[in-house]
Structure 1
Amino acid sequence: MKSNNDSSLPVINQRELNRALLARQMLLQRENISSMEAIERFIGLQAQAVNPPYYALWNRLENFQQEHLAELIIHKQVVRIALMRSTIHLVSTRDALALRPWIQPVLDRALKGAYGKHIAGVDLQAAAAAGREILETAGPMTLSDLGKRLNEQWPTVDHDALGAAVRNSVPLVQVPPRGLWGVSGQALHTTIEAWLGQSLSLGTVAEALLVRYLQAYGPAAVKDFQAWSGLTKLRDLFEHMRPRLILFQNEQGEELFDLPDAPRPDSSTEAAPRFLGEFDHILLSHADRTRIIDDSDRRRIITNNGLVKASILVDGFVAGLWTIQERGNTAVLNIEPFHSLTSEQRQLLKDEGERLLRFATDGALQFDISFADQAND
């Protein structure tokens, strides 16, 4: 990463980076656009669990309701599929078909890292072809069941490894009811071609994707785009695009790229509290995440096994955790701040928290908001 302290480049400080990110993520104020428009603006939503995409949209859109997203899933306008960083994302069908071939190297590397020893000697092309045929003939199934079916041809190979080999080699989508709010059940997979009746888009997407990434997450360094995608060796792409971009440097002297007309609000711009759901994509889309979360707090949000807890934003930065408990007819929002809150911040969190409870709970007659004692002023 370039770090030359080039005095000719304007410096953009941490708070300015924070406000630019919040503006592009619709977290300074909710916007009146459709769920599909938002999903495509962010190039997908992180979706390891079912509910996080709903919270992501609720935080960013005016009058969002769960059925707005559920209908997109049911009608095959968006799909759940392994993409960036080899993790499950909820993306538009158009993006799924275009991004899946581009991200293949990430999936190959992830498979080798997790199951390399288990699949040594396995003809992955043959396993992928066999897995595709099973799914497209027998219908959607879990990866575990798929792996057990493949054990008929590869009896000595771990069935979970075989299922993962197909998942990372063949474009598989998770079919509903997986992904629907309030509906539980295992993740059943089939091929994207069988689900959508369309083939993958084989044209390059790198330049257009970089523009879209900067629109949603910039200003950003090369390492940020690489961290978001999981791909490596993308410096040449940035160099090719350099004439179309403007440059800054952060306070450490690292070169940051951006679009000339992208929003970059003043650092004094007010940012209302927000309740981010688990795995919110804003916390996972940069190598340097200090624009949204302090390094000292990061390990309290992102665990060693890859879980990303639900968090609160105060003044634009991660400032604590939240959970919801339902006790009979009462829904309780538990807030655990990492640092002392002012009385005004506490009241703003209560106001936003009650809106969260009304969105997230069904049938509750009373709402209660509790702050962890150790963080009380």
Structure 2
Amino acid sequence: MTPRNVLDTRSLNRATLARQLLLDHADVPVLDAVAHLCGLQAQEPQEPFVGLWSRLRAFNPAVLSDLLIERSVVRMHLMRRTVHLVTAEDALAWRARHDAMLRQRVLGVYRRELAGIDLDELAAAGRAITADDEPRSMGELGRALAVRWPAPGPRALGEMLISLIPVVQMPPRGLWRTKAGVRNVLLSSWLGREIDPPAPEGSDPVGEALVRRYLAAFGPAASADLRAWCGLAGLPNAVAAVREELIAFRDERGRELLDLPDAPRPDPDTPAPVRFLPAFDNAILGYHDRSRIIDDAHRGLSVTGARVVLVDGRVSATWDVKDGTVVVTPLRRFSRADRTAVAEQGRELASFLSDNDSHHVQIAASSH
């Protein structure tokens, strides 16, 4: 018998599905869902629409587009220096806390090119360039800076600048069924408000809020999972500050897992419906140990942009769209009931993606 404070993989899986709105389609407004999920990874601009379709009842993609146009949600580099779709409120509250991480991740790639450049001067020059509120691509920003600093090259300068100063990617980038390049504008100009200032030294209210928000959307989880999700160093102090609010479990390997006392932890035997997830979905990427939802043998799929299908709560297939047909490639042998459920959900996805013009789904033969 499993000890009461030990959560097996299936228990963690069902908790993750519940927190990620993947156990039942949620009846919540789109903005509330984006907030609850702590944003959606969005470097592929159309993928968040599939992510929300898989989570919300009667999701209308026009609502998310409207939220972008109305500036209630924004696209920006944030967690792990990846593009995320987050609420305007979270963008303003969280951006300063991510500043050092964003800077260090760019330096990790371009340290040699940027050696000897005063980054505060670079940021000041970038602010002067963007002060006219004219949307610019990263290349345009880099070329403007290269007039003063020619050696690093425009790409290194552009990537560094959009990590030094808070910018958002303006619509039409990220609108439903719209192809548009990235055009950056200052976050403060776009939202008409400055980002929240950094906390005084010795306090970390944003870090503490991130711990609570992460556990609400991803818990129970280890500190290593939290760090893998956000990419931030220094959160052990935030975890320590809120620890008395939390409860602790162990996984089957003995790792400590923290959680909010009243967050859902469903019975591990709770049925899990088939769900189609978009590329880079945080239900998978939001953990250091992803074994609760994907087998180690398939872990690489989660970082290569593969879209995946959950069957009984676990990654069991990949999917793509070819000529209006949703094509599913199983990673294991499906039972007849699995194939039926995957086909039914695949037809609904095809309908969603095609405005009801197609209901075609094809399930390839499994090689396993």
Q: TM-score category by the smaller chain?
A: over 0.9
Shift of 1:10: 1.0
Measured in 2, the distance between the counterparts of 1:185 and 1:23 equals 34
State the TM-score, normalized to the length of structure 1: 0.93
Residues 191-224 of structure 1 show CA distances to partners (whole Å, capped at 9, x for unaligned) of: 1011111001124312122111111100011111
Choose the corresponding residue for 2:28, options 33, 39, 64.
33
SS of the equivalent of 2:179 reads coil
Residue of structure 2 equivalent to 1:187: 182
Contact kept in structure 1, 2:207 and 2:235, CA below 8 Å = no
Distance 1:8 1:309, change over 3 A: closer
Pick closer, same or farther for the CA change 1:176–1:233 going to 2, 3 Å. Answer: same
Take 1:8 and 1:69, find their aligned partners in 2: how far apart are those partners? 44
Q: Which runs of 5+ in 1 are unaligned?
A: 1-6
In structure 2, the CA distance between the partners of 1:163 and 1:72, relative to structure 1 (3 Å rule), is same
Task: Say whether 1:96 aligns with 2:86.
Answer: no
Q: Closer, same or farther in 2 for the Cα pair 1:130/1:369, shift >3 Å?
A: same
Distance 1:75 1:234 in 2: 33
The Cα of 1:308 is off from its aligned counterpart by 2.4
Change in CA separation of 1:256 and 1:358 when aligned onto 2, cut-off 3 Å: same
Q: 1:20 pairs with 15, 18, 23, which one?
A: 15
Query: Which residue, 315, 321, 327 being the options, matches 2:312?
Result: 315
- Kindly indicate whether residue 105 of structure 2 is the aligned counterpart of residue 110 of structure 1: yes
AA paired with 1:133? A
Structure 2 regions of 5+ residues with no counterpart? Answer: 200-204
1:132–1:166 contact (8 Å) kept in structure 2: no
CA RMSD across the alignment: 1.5
Q: Aligned match of 2:359 in 356, 359, 367?
A: 367
Once the two structures are superposed, the pairs formed by residues 297-336 of structure 1 within 5 Å of their partners are 297-299=298-300, 301-302=301-302, 306-326=303-323, 331-336=324-329
| 1:210 and 2:219 are equivalent in the alignment | no
Amino acid at match of 1:177: P
Change (3 A) 1:110 1:19: same
What residue is the counterpart of 1:352 in the other structure? 345
User: 1:112-127 to 2 correspondence within 5 Å?
Assistant: 112-127=107-122
Counterpart AA for 2:363: F
1:9–1:247 CA contact under 8 A, matched in 2: no
Mapped contact 1:9–1:249 kept (Cα < 8 A):
no
Deviation of 1:8 after TM superposition, in Å, equals 8.4
The answer to whether the 8 Å contact 1:247/1:257 transfers is yes
1:340 is aligned to 2:333: yes
Aligned-pair distance for 1:138? Answer: 5.8
2:328 partner SS: strand
Partner of residue 197, structure 1: 192
Question: How far off its partner does 1:279 sit?
Answer: 1.1
The answer on whether the counterparts of 1:136 and 1:190 sit within 8 Å (CA) in structure 2 is no
8 A contact 2:113–2:151 mirrored in 1 = no
- Aligned length in residues: 361
2:259 is matched with: 258
- 1:342-365 deviation line (CA, Å, top 9, x unaligned): 01110011111111011112473x
AA aligned to 2:217 is: A
Counterpart of 2:352, as a letter, is F
Aligned partner letter, 1:76 = R
Q: Give identity over the alignment, percent.
A: 39
Are the counterparts in 2 of residues 142 and 187 from structure 1 also a CA contact under 8 Å?
Answer: yes
Displacement, 1:14? Answer: 0.3
Contact kept, 8 Å, 1:141 with 1:190, in 2: the verdict is yes
Residue in 2 that maps onto 1:3: none
Q: Distance in 2 between matches of 1:58 and 1:104?
A: 32
SS in 2 for 1:31: coil
Tell me, in whole angstroms, the C-alpha distance in 2 between the residues paired with 1:13 and 1:70: 39
* Aligned-pair CA distance for 1:232: 2.2
